[in-house]
Structure 1
């Protein structure tokens, strides 16, 4: 017989157990709700702005809009840097049913590169089908017209227009204008350092050299933006807001394009440089470096082959000879040396010395030869400048010493940059004892000073320095920093800011003595430039120079017929006109051309004629 189980219930203990379980459950619920509320507070309050921004970034897309680059004009309002429309062919991939067929039809309108289909298909792999895709980057106007007529045959394809930098003068202004080109990693680093990433968000080009680089901040403009609402796949739903870009400001330069082209014509493709400026305000009227190159090659990206040809050319077209070329100034600085001699009382305008064709340092056997081997006889300051007598200046340099020469020449712009408004400028060399010790760890010798007396030896100058120093002589000590910018259009001209402290002489009459000596060079019979200016309707003050490229032995003669072309003398010429009312100062350097007055002189005369007579 089976017995029934008897259950004894303890209601008190059961109630206590239930209470413990209920409290535990309630505590868990409270904790979970607290966590939920805490997270909710974090999301809705603490991180509200952050998550709202993320949501908006997913919902709203901001597209930067590139500004139009400022234009550049010459002093007579001829445009020298323009923005021209450029056309590309774009495609919406999702609207094109048969890509190969479309491209085959395009090939009937204009030629396509070999492998165009394969290249296009490869690029499309990483492109969203509803976004515009560039099929062809640049189309000619004829190609645009052809496509427009046949556009009904090409669903999903359309012409897109943009602006590209264009230099209508081609090679004429390359070294002063510079060019724009694609932004590279070095440019990106500079943009990042300057905290200007936002300025270039919509731009892939930047000024690389010359005016384009120096005034990049003015020319570039301020980008705009377009806000678009998009769905989760990035497709545009609507446009929310559009902020138009602010175009870059236009520049007017001091350059006279007519005079610039005249300088190019006179150079005839020879290696060298011509600088012409207004001595009354420092405005550069023409600045040519020859040979040059077409800056338009760089705008869309120059090919490796073309760039290699420019880089490796023996003619060195990439160098701006006008501001970077360093040449022995030769006899062009003799007027300044004579002025230094007058100021330091080593000579007067009546001091005469005997020139037998050579000069010797006291108690030294070596003879320093004059260019005229039989000598000039008795010469004073006027004839020594006009006839370019070397002996007079050997003697003067010996008397003055190198430090007097260097200290006097520095305010005339030698040995330092002129401050012209492009970055590509060399300071060249104005030597003294300290310079030689620092450069070669050698003492300065008296023979070094003698060479400096005729603008040779260690002394080098750029054509812009020669033009600048000549302009100071023309204005009797007034100094105006050479500059290319006349004004930012719509703003005042910049001339006033170019004034520098004038050079004051102990005896102001010395200016007239030197000017008269340079006048005699052009207009007195026997002057080295007399044949050039004897029939000129205006009066000029000039000085020629012939710079040795290599040294020759004491008793050796320079034979132009046997010397290799790259070792021939450089031809130099400086001056201003009209003599009593200077309006233009010119410096000319011709590499390996020989005699200065015969080769560089006609170029300077042509520049004077063009500016004073043709105008």
Structure 2
């Protein structure tokens, strides 16, 4: 056996000590380097991670702004109610807890479905509502047994309410729960932070178009949480900023008068203040109750609204388009004067028809109206006069004159969902149709356009705004419904200034001649019966628009299905010398304008000017039906 000398053993030991020391030094160096990386180089990162684990930012939803009419009547507001909420992190068995709660307060399947949806979208330490709008009795029952339900509490929350119900619902719109499509839109605008904690968003009407004003700014509570996600204490608060209020140009009482005048009939009415473009009433009937949508509309309610043949969700005032019928004639008359194709005193014979291309275009009066000038053509609504005028102007001349009045173009009103309509022309027809034979414009089509038929298709809003421009001496304003945006905190009111769109260069003598004829429509013409005994002077024009072509057959309303009957139109303004209101009324399948639409216009003007009301809907005038337009 080999033995090492003492010197050799000592050297070997020293080498081992050195190696071990170097190994330990290397380990310590690595450990120190790691400590430096964690404590110095990545200090801010890991401190933030630790704070994120310890501190949670809980969003505080802002109160939504209110909407009131021009007189301060609330149309959309918030109210406080109790909700039953569950904090998932504090509940061991959610299913058993909900079942037990159902023995104290009513919890149906719809409540459970909504809870599951909200639970998936919520953080573990946030309260999730299982029932909304608890009654006082339900609150009392739960509070008495609260000790049985750790993690369950009653909270006071704000809810949206539309106190006028179905009145003006197409204008006000409604809010609804934020869905996937809303989230994508919010992210596209870069507003995710401002909607954290928010469950609702504007879906239709002003609630949608003024969402940025109404929503407000989200606040935050900084809360310290434990490892399980439960709140330990509040650290700080950034308060939410309430949304701005909207004050409208709309007069809700005038709106209700108009809605009541329609009764059960389908139709639309738009009333505008000519000097500002402010919308005084915007009616679409039938209507709907926006309160149904706030917490998610039920399947039966949605089915009833969506499958109704009357389409109550459709905003007929700004989206539906119709031929204007004889309400087009005052604008055609003005086109004739401005183009030099007609003079104010020029007369022409009306034999009861107009011949063009071997086709006889009939007047509504058998045998015609005799000698007719511009004034008489409007008062008695002579078709033959306008057949000839349309032929003389030509389709390009008609389209060029009508376009500045806004026919066939969106007005830009601040209510979403407006349709463009159709102002026909050869260029439009080429864009509209694909086949060459369909793209060709025929002279006979011009004749029909001249009396507001043919391809003409305008919204009631376009017609009302065109009339407002005519009676405002050619000055056109963009229609708008919001008059002021009001800061809810300070009360400061920011006015939505009337927006001039254009000024039409029209001869005052021509405007006066057309308006004088329209005033006689309501004195002695086709609107006289509806305005008999009025304590003010007004101008108007009746109109009847065909739903389908009669192909030369005589129109007899009683022989047709109700939805195939003519549409009833009436446009009006008052007072005649200084109009403060201009309106267009449409009654779908209502027949002659003098019978259905004119009485509605009379009720609206009576209330606007005299604050006079009728307690019953406007009824058809049998004498007016016999008389015609």
TM-score (normalizing by structure 2): 0.89
Unaligned runs of 5+ in 1: none
The residue number in structure 2 matching 1:519 is 519
C-alpha separation in 1, matches of 2:388 and 2:156: 70
Cα 1:503–1:44 change in 2 (3 A) is same
Shift of 1:34: 3.6
Cα 1:244–1:387 change in 2 (3 A) is same
Shift of 1:242: 1.3
Shift of 1:112: 5.4
Q: Matched residue pairs, number?
A: 602
The residue number in structure 2 matching 1:443 is 440
Q: Which secondary structure does the structure 1 equivalent of 2:540 belong to?
A: strand
Shift of 1:143: 3.3
The residue number in structure 1 matching 2:623 is none
Matched, 1:176 2:177: no
Query: Greater CA deviation, 514-523 or 293-302?
Result: 514-523
Cα 1:585–1:115 change in 2 (3 A) is closer
Shift of 1:106: 7.1
Shift of 1:13: 11
Matched, 1:347 2:338: no
Q: Which secondary structure does the structure 2 equivalent of 1:430 belong to?
A: coil
Q: Which of 256, 260, 266 matches 1:271? A: 266
CA-to-aligned-CA distance 1:572-597 (integer Å, 9 cap, x gap): 00010000010111110000010011
Shift of 1:7: 3.8
Mapped contact 2:112–2:130 kept (Cα < 8 A): no
Shift of 1:70: 0.4
The residue number in structure 2 matching 1:542 is 540
Alignment map for 1:238-249 (pairs within 5 Å):
238-249=233-244
Mapped contact 1:151–1:158 kept (Cα < 8 A): no
CA-to-aligned-CA distance 1:396-454 (integer Å, 9 cap, x gap): 11011111111111111111111110111101111111110111141111111111100
Matched, 1:165 2:147: no
Shift of 1:286: 0.7
C-alpha separation in 1, matches of 2:343 and 2:573: 24
C-alpha separation in 1, matches of 2:113 and 2:65: 39
C-alpha separation in 1, matches of 2:178 and 2:113: 28
Mapped contact 2:125–2:231 kept (Cα < 8 A): no
Shift of 1:121: 12
Shift of 1:379: 0.4
CA-to-aligned-CA distance 1:327-373 (integer Å, 9 cap, x gap): 10111111011111111100011121111111012xx2110011112
Q: Which of 546, 551, 554 matches 1:553? A: 551
Query: Greater CA deviation, 90-99 or 179-188?
Result: 90-99
The residue number in structure 2 matching 1:84 is 79
Shift of 1:45: 2.5
Q: Which of 393, 403, 417 matches 1:424? A: 417
Mapped contact 1:96–1:155 kept (Cα < 8 A): no
Query: Greater CA deviation, 26-35 or 195-204?
Result: 26-35
Mapped contact 1:281–1:495 kept (Cα < 8 A): no
C-alpha separation in 2, matches of 1:538 and 1:104: 68
CA-to-aligned-CA distance 1:56-89 (integer Å, 9 cap, x gap): 1111111001110001110000111010112123
Cα 1:122–1:154 change in 2 (3 A) is farther
Q: Which of 568, 571, 575 matches 1:571? A: 568
C-alpha separation in 2, matches of 1:261 and 1:67: 31
Alignment map for 1:58-137 (pairs within 5 Å):
58-90=53-85, 107=103, 113=108, 134-137=129-132
CA-to-aligned-CA distance 1:181-225 (integer Å, 9 cap, x gap): 000100000011111111110101000011000000110001111
Alignment map for 1:131-150 (pairs within 5 Å):
134-144=129-139, 150=144
Matched, 1:494 2:495: yes
Max Rg structure: 1
C-alpha separation in 2, matches of 1:512 and 1:118: 64
Q: Which secondary structure does the structure 1 equivalent of 2:381 belong to?
A: coil
Cα 1:298–1:514 change in 2 (3 A) is same
Shift of 1:261: 0.5
C-alpha separation in 1, matches of 2:111 and 2:61: 29
CA-to-aligned-CA distance 1:535-580 (integer Å, 9 cap, x gap): 21111110110000001113x1111111111110000000100000
CA-to-aligned-CA distance 1:589-615 (integer Å, 9 cap, x gap): 000010011110000011100110117
Query: Greater CA deviation, 93-102 or 509-518?
Result: 93-102
C-alpha separation in 1, matches of 2:340 and 2:512: 16
Cα 1:141–1:419 change in 2 (3 A) is farther
The residue number in structure 1 matching 2:330 is 335
Cα 1:87–1:417 change in 2 (3 A) is same
CA-to-aligned-CA distance 1:478-530 (integer Å, 9 cap, x gap): 1111100010124455353412221112x33211111111111111x3x1112
Shift of 1:21: 5.5
The residue number in structure 2 matching 1:583 is 580
Mapped contact 2:277–2:498 kept (Cα < 8 A): no
Shift of 1:36: 2.5
Q: Which secondary structure does the structure 2 equivalent of 1:208 belong to?
A: strand
RMSD: 3.1
Mapped contact 2:483–2:497 kept (Cα < 8 A): no
Query: Greater CA deviation, 604-613 or 89-98?
Result: 89-98
TM-score (normalizing by structure 1): 0.91
C-alpha separation in 1, matches of 2:74 and 2:380: 44
Cα 1:479–1:188 change in 2 (3 A) is same
C-alpha separation in 2, matches of 1:246 and 1:322: 35
The residue number in structure 2 matching 1:357 is 352
C-alpha separation in 2, matches of 1:559 and 1:252: 47
Q: Which of 204, 208, 214 matches 2:203? A: 208
Mapped contact 1:573–1:587 kept (Cα < 8 A): yes
C-alpha separation in 2, matches of 1:400 and 1:384: 17
C-alpha separation in 2, matches of 1:403 and 1:439: 16
The residue number in structure 1 matching 2:389 is 396
Q: Which secondary structure does the structure 1 equivalent of 2:529 belong to?
A: helix
C-alpha separation in 1, matches of 2:411 and 2:111: 52
The residue number in structure 2 matching 1:191 is 186
Shift of 1:18: 6.4
C-alpha separation in 2, matches of 1:467 and 1:103: 57
C-alpha separation in 2, matches of 1:71 and 1:349: 51
Q: Which secondary structure does the structure 2 equivalent of 1:251 belong to?
A: strand
C-alpha separation in 1, matches of 2:601 and 2:116: 60
